[in-house]
Amino acid sequence: MMDASTDQLRTLAAVVDHGTFDRAAAALHITPSAVSQRIKSLEEQSGRVLVRRSKPIQATEAGAVLLRLARQVALLEAEAAAELEGGDGAAATPIPLVVNADSLATWVLPALATVQGAVFDIALDDQEHTIDRLRDGTAMGAIGSDPEPVQGCTVTALGAMRYRPLASPAFVERWCPDGWTAERAAVAPMLVYNRKDALQDRYVAALAPGARPPRHFVPASTEFVGAAVLGLGWGMVPDLQADPLVADGRLVVLDPGGAVDVPLYWQQWSLHSAALDAVAAAITHAAAGALRPAPPRPPNAEGHVNAPKTPL
C-alpha cells in the first residue's frame, strides 16, 4: 500500500510546475538531491515512473494521478490553515484553471474578480482541449466544449457562445464586393487563433468543401478581433466581442446564416473545497448572464439525448 507523504506530493507538484529538479528545489528551499530522493521514493512506493526526465519535466499518466492528489491536498491544507487562523477558510494557494481565450477576454475575468480571497493560475487553451489539463492534473477547473466529465470531475452546462463570420468593410470591398460565396471563401485570407483552432475550417468545409484558403495565425483573442478590424482576414468572432464593432460599422457580417453556437461547460474536480465551490458559483452565475442558452444535445444511437454525467 502506498503511503505518500505531504512533502513527497508537494515535491512532485513543484517538479512538474517548475520543469526541472533544480528549480523545484529552489522553490521548496531544499537541495536538488533532496528533490530527486523524494521523487525516487514516491516512484518506488507507487511502483510507477511518475515523471519523464524531459525538458521541461512532465508527469506520466501515473504521475498525473498523484499530481491531482498533490493539488487537492495543497488546497485543502490551505483552507484548513485559513480556517484555523480565524478566517473564512479561503485558500491562498493558487487555484489552477484553464479557460478558452474568448471566454477569458469577455466574461470570465469579471466573474473571477467576485471571488474573494482566491488566487488564480490561469492557462489558455482551445475550448476543445481544455480538459486535457484536467486529465494531467495541471488544472482543477476548466471551461471547454466537452460535455463528458473527466474521471473524478463534475460537469455543468454553462450555455453557448455564438460566433459569426466577420470582416472589415475594406476586406469586403477587396475580396467579396458582390457577396460572400463559396468561391470567395475558398481564396480569401482567413484568421485562425492557433493550430488547434478548427472553427474557421469547419465553417469553410460546410460552405466550400475541400477549400484551403490562406490563413493568418493570430494567437490572442483581442488581437484576433483587431486583425479582422484592420482587414487582415475574416474570422469567426463571438458576438460578445463583435456586437459593438458591427454596430459602429467596423466589422461586417459576411454570412447572416452562418452563425455557429459553441456550447461551453464547466468541469472541476469532485472535491469538497470552499474555494473551488466559490469559483464554480461565480462562473455559472456569470455565464447565465453572458452566454446564450445552449442548443439541445443530439440524440445518441438509441434515440436518447445524452446528458452530462456527474461521477458518483
Average pLDDT on 86-99 reads: 73
User: Going from the N-terminus, what domains does the chain have, and what CATH number goes with each?
Assistant: 6-70 (1.10.10.10), 93-312 (3.40.190.290)
Kindly report whether the global pTM for this prediction surpasses the value 0.95: no
Cα separation, 19 vs 55, in Å, equals 7
- For 185-228, the pLDDT digits (tens) are 999 999 999 998 999 999 999 999 999 999 999 999 999 999 99
Cα separation, 19 vs 300, in Å, equals 42
Report H helices in 29-155. Answer: 32-46, 61-84, 101-103, 109-112, 131-135
Q: Mean of the per-residue pLDDT values for the chain?
A: 89
Q: Residue 141's pLDDT is what? A: 94
- For 39-49, the pLDDT digits (tens) are 999 999 989 89
Cα separation, 255 vs 179, in Å, equals 9
